[in-house]
Amino acid sequence: MSHSVDSDVSAVRRYIERHRAAFLDDLAEWLRIPSVSAQTDHADDVRRSADWLAAALGATGFPTVEVWPTAGAPAVYAEWPSDDPAAPTVLVYGHHDVQPAAREDGWDTDPFEPVVRDNRLYARGAADDKGQVFFHTLGVRAHLAATGRTAPAVHLKLLVEGEEESSSPHFRALVEANAERLAADAVIVSDTGMWSEDTPTVCTGMRGLTDCEIRLYGPDQDIHSGSFGGAVPNPATAAARLVAALHDEHARVAIPGFYDGVVELTERERALFAELPFDEDQWLRTAKSHAPHGEAGYTTLERVWARPTAEVNGIGGGYQGPGSKTIIPASAMVKLSFRLVAGQDPHHVEKVVRDWAAGQLPAGIRSEIEFSPATRPCLTPLDHPALQSVARAMGRAFDRPVRFTREGGSGPAADLQEVLGAPVLFLGISVPSDGWHAPNEKVELDLLLKGVETTAYLWGDLAATWRHAP
Amino acid sequence: MSHSVDSDVSAVRRYIERHRAAFLDDLAEWLRIPSVSAQTDHADDVRRSADWLAAALGATGFPTVEVWPTAGAPAVYAEWPSDDPAAPTVLVYGHHDVQPAAREDGWDTDPFEPVVRDNRLYARGAADDKGQVFFHTLGVRAHLAATGRTAPAVHLKLLVEGEEESSSPHFRALVEANAERLAADAVIVSDTGMWSEDTPTVCTGMRGLTDCEIRLYGPDQDIHSGSFGGAVPNPATAAARLVAALHDEHARVAIPGFYDGVVELTERERALFAELPFDEDQWLRTAKSHAPHGEAGYTTLERVWARPTAEVNGIGGGYQGPGSKTIIPASAMVKLSFRLVAGQDPHHVEKVVRDWAAGQLPAGIRSEIEFSPATRPCLTPLDHPALQSVARAMGRAFDRPVRFTREGGSGPAADLQEVLGAPVLFLGISVPSDGWHAPNEKVELDLLLKGVETTAYLWGDLAATWRHAP
Ligand SMILES: [Zn+2]
Ligand SMILES: [Zn+2]
């Protein structure tokens, strides 16, 4: 091809500076739509949000823009093919729905009336995830302007769902039904963040998740602990013993087979994690917790990013009201969730949890165990060429070296990885202080524009390093 | 003294037969008063019930009858001194309040409209406890008639409280405030039952009870198990591990010092328990349970009657609704109750539980522990002369040997034992099928009249075997 894939930094920055005001005005318009997927009375707003985004993507230049209905809220899909048939295909993922927000939750201003203060844009969705979806619009325009192209250097696809804040109940089916159109060489997820304002980072993976509820049944009804106590099995005791058996004395998960296949951290990864400016006291304040606690032999960052866990999310049984009631309860339940790391198969984990749980219970206690659909872990190796491209593009935008993190949470990105068979890369410019899911959510305007700038370099870098064989 | 303390069996039976109809009519009248202490809209009924009983005791011949107010429902006190100053003093305990009952709970007839079917009297309170209080009225009359006395062979006192079904919140204070008037050589509690229609038994003791709520605090608010899971302590896990640590692998309580002072079962007691026609399958059906489970080395009856226990009455923490919520909860709580046996001091048990709990928790988990007022255990030795009297009187009434049981529950009788310093004896004729606290509560009329007959013999027997030094 004749035209360049490399973007001149000053050309990119000039372009962004020139279009910055309009870009922010447009984003503010989108943020005014309260697209809260968890609240049915906002269903129309979520639909309006999808339509608004579709129009904006059309105005950006995407030749194909479609609103995809689901059994729940609609997603938006857009395509912009490269004029180079050998270019790689990239699918960008984000979401246009937002968490609930109300002024009285502690917002200083109306959550759906965006305001800029101190170079920060405050609104629900500013960082999670409308802001981070929207930087792709100005980003691709800057990429074209700075390279003199009329089509992107990569085949660009966007999928922006409308139910992420409601656990993406229809996302997997949507991706499966449209797998051919969504086919990509890499997925770029713009729904995470980076380490801090001063430390740009690329996330290389997310943990997976499988969770279950275990219900334990003892007596057919609550019985009197005086008449029967000490002589029949108590399901609340059984539930507690089950939970206590989850971990050994080193806080390591004690379920046989749980760690099967786990990809261990390499020395290089441990060294990279250790380089991050991590302040454990500060981290504990963020965690609202009063001491670290976890698997022996691993640091806090390793524990939350790269180690699988078992956590109790809920436990209940018997009398929980005020005062006392001397019963042996008829039943008890525990909700357990397991975070998974690369190499762990959720189906195998489900099997070993079921086998283990069945073996823990005393005679006279019956159990039921129910698993929710699992989310697989995803991890892109540090030497993957697309990951190197993201890091380079980000480093150019931020004028400093980029480090690597992971994400302890789990997300629908894993469905894209699994269904499409493509590696998942994370490109996010949000910082921990942005207040995702909290009052006064904001995005730092400088960082938002660095997101724009990163994508302006990224498509060219990817195309240059990762061309398809002709 | 010149007159007899021994009652001729046929004279007693003739007297009871002659007065049986009037006795049952009177009892039915009392049962019509819905003296439900737990329901404030029945407060007037509880007062009416006290007044009704006071009038009935006056008509029986008690020269002193008083209604004692408390901060809650009133108690009824009555005294009938013996004409023999050297006679022992006996205090009978019972209660005139009843459990809630409503036709729609599953009653075949109105719970407060007594009916006789198949020689059974059905009504709320028929067995627990109005029937068993009321047999003392005809009993003392039969005792007088058969012996030709004008005053009982013992100094007879009755204390019938009005809040037993509401955990007797003011009973201890009432007994302490009136300890001198209540002074007795023995307490007879008529608020328990016997083994079965065919196997009359005397209960020799009740377990004590101390219970607590332990609240555990982790993060200052629920936090995300993806972001933080595996790296901070989880209070629900801590609660479960605490509960799991309650028992060792032999289902023995593992709290250091918990068994301090426990009076072990003697070989004689174990042999007497073993003689009872115990059917474990039948017992399990009564317990609505599906397997026995308890301290290794003890039978089911020994476990519920003579061994201390630790039970979880309630446990709760985190998300307990439908579906899943991937949080580390901010707090969790457990409600524990400990049944105590003779020789255990509730204050010592509280101390060892507190020490043990504090030592179980990981760094970063804060705890609060709150104990309710304890009930002491009580146990009367098998060779106690008053216990022998009760067994003999019952044996005469039932025309068969009387065996010995204990009661696994706990009751306010222990306050009488402790404040008055008197041994507690249990005289009850109710059987397990009577349905205490359940719909269609009933009392077997034949057994009710055996209760009358037992007391007709008891006062004479006690006076003959247990005279005070002149
Ligand atoms: Zn998001
Ligand atoms: Zn009772």
The last residue of a domain, from among A334, A354, A371: A371
Q: Is A373's pLDDT higher than 90?
A: no
Output the pLDDT for position A338.
Answer: 97
**B294, B318, B333: residue with CB nearest A231:** B294
Burial label, B108 (beta-carbon count in 10 A; 0-12, 13-18, 19+): exposed
Domain annotation covers residue B279? no
Q: Look-up: residue for tokens 């057994």? A: B447
Output the pLDDT for position A298.
Answer: 98
CA distance B193 to chain A (A): 12
Residue A140 shares a structural domain with residue A89: yes
Model confidence over A446-461: pLDDT tens digits? 999 999 999 999 999 9
Q: HSE-up of B387 (CA within 13 Å, CB side)?
A: 20
For chain B, give the mean pLDDT.
Answer: 94
Residue B155 shares a structural domain with residue B243: no
> Which ligand neighbours the alpha carbon of B37 most closely?
2
Collect all residues of chain B within an 8 Å Cβ-Cβ radius of residue A304: 227-231
The CA angle A412-A383-A348, to the nearest 5 degrees, is: 45
Domain annotation covers residue A63? yes
CB < 8 Å from B in window 328-387 of A? 328-330, 332-335, 337, 339, 362-366, 372
Residue B359 shares a structural domain with residue B392: no
Q: Is B2's pLDDT higher than 60?
A: no
The last residue of a domain, from among B318, B349, B371: B371
Distance in Å, CA B393 to ligand 2 centroid: 22
CATH code (residue A408): 3.40.630.10
Minimum Cα–Cα distance from B407: chain A residue? A227
The Cα B145–Cα B50 span in angstroms is: 27
The CA angle A308-A310-A315, to the nearest 5 degrees, is: 160
Domain annotation covers residue B299? no
Output the pLDDT for position A407.
Answer: 92
Domains: count for chain B? 2
Residue type, B99: Q
DSSP state of B85: T
Q: Is A104's pLDDT higher than 70?
A: yes
CA distance A56 to chain B (A): 33
Model confidence over A208-222: pLDDT tens digits? 999 999 999 999 999
Choice between A374 and A466, residue whose per-residue pLDDT is larger: A374
Which value does ipTM take for this structure? 0.89
Domain annotation covers residue A456? yes
Model confidence over B333-371: pLDDT tens digits? 999 999 999 999 999 999 999 999 999 999 999 999 999
Domain annotation covers residue B285? no
The last residue of a domain, from among A371, A402, A417: A371
> Which ligand neighbours the alpha carbon of A193 most closely?
1
> Which ligand neighbours the alpha carbon of B411 most closely?
2
Q: Which two tokens stand for residue A72?
A: 């729940």
Model confidence over B156-170: pLDDT tens digits? 999 999 999 988 999
Give the pLDDT mean for B253-260: 98
The Cα B1–Cα B148 span in angstroms is: 13
Collect all residues of chain A within an 8 Å Cβ-Cβ radius of residue B241: 240, 243-244
Q: Which two tokens stand for residue A87?
A: 């270019």
Distance in Å, CA A137 to ligand 1 centroid: 18
Cβ-based neighbour number of residue A358 at 10 Å:
10
Distance in Å, CA B392 to ligand 2 centroid: 24
CA distance A234 to chain B (A): 8
Give the pLDDT mean for A378-385: 92
CB < 8 Å from B in window 283-302 of A? 284, 287-295, 300
**Nearest alpha-carbon partner for A341 in A176, A166, A204:** A204
Domain annotation covers residue B298? no
The Cα A6–Cα A262 span in angstroms is: 39
Cβ-based neighbour number of residue B198 at 10 Å:
10
Cβ-based neighbour number of residue A250 at 10 Å:
10
Distance in Å, CA B400 to ligand 2 centroid: 26
Q: Is A374's pLDDT higher than 80?
A: yes
Burial label, B447 (beta-carbon count in 10 A; 0-12, 13-18, 19+): buried
Collect all residues of chain B within an 8 Å Cβ-Cβ radius of residue A363: 290-291, 293
Distance in Å, CA A206 to ligand 1 centroid: 13
Interchain contact, A312 vs B317, CB within 8 Å: yes
Whether B242 and chain A come into contact, CB under 8 Å, resolves to yes
Model confidence over B70-105: pLDDT tens digits? 999 999 999 999 999 999 999 999 999 999 999 998
CATH code (residue B314): 3.30.70.360
Domain annotation covers residue B287? no
Domain annotation covers residue A274? no
Residue B110 shares a structural domain with residue B240: no
> Which pTM was predicted?
0.88
Residue B155 shares a structural domain with residue B229: no
Output the pLDDT for position B411.
Answer: 84
Interchain contact, B318 vs A332, CB within 8 Å: no
Contact A464, A5 (CB under 8 A): yes
Whether B439 and chain A come into contact, CB under 8 Å, resolves to no
Q: Is A6's pLDDT higher than 90?
A: no
Whether B223 and chain A come into contact, CB under 8 Å, resolves to yes
> Which ligand neighbours the alpha carbon of A129 most closely?
1
Contacts of A60 (CB under 8 A, 6+ apart): A137, A140, A141
CA distance B296 to chain A (A): 10
Output the pLDDT for position B438.
Answer: 87
Minimum Cα–Cα distance from A239: chain B residue? B240
Distance in Å, CA A408 to ligand 1 centroid: 14
Interchain contact, B294 vs A239, CB within 8 Å: no
Residue A17 shares a structural domain with residue A149: yes
Give the pLDDT mean for B142-152: 96
Whether B21 and chain A come into contact, CB under 8 Å, resolves to no
Residue B33 shares a structural domain with residue B98: yes
Whether B324 and chain A come into contact, CB under 8 Å, resolves to yes
Give the domain range for residue B334: 208-262+308-371
Interchain contact, A228 vs B304, CB within 8 Å: yes
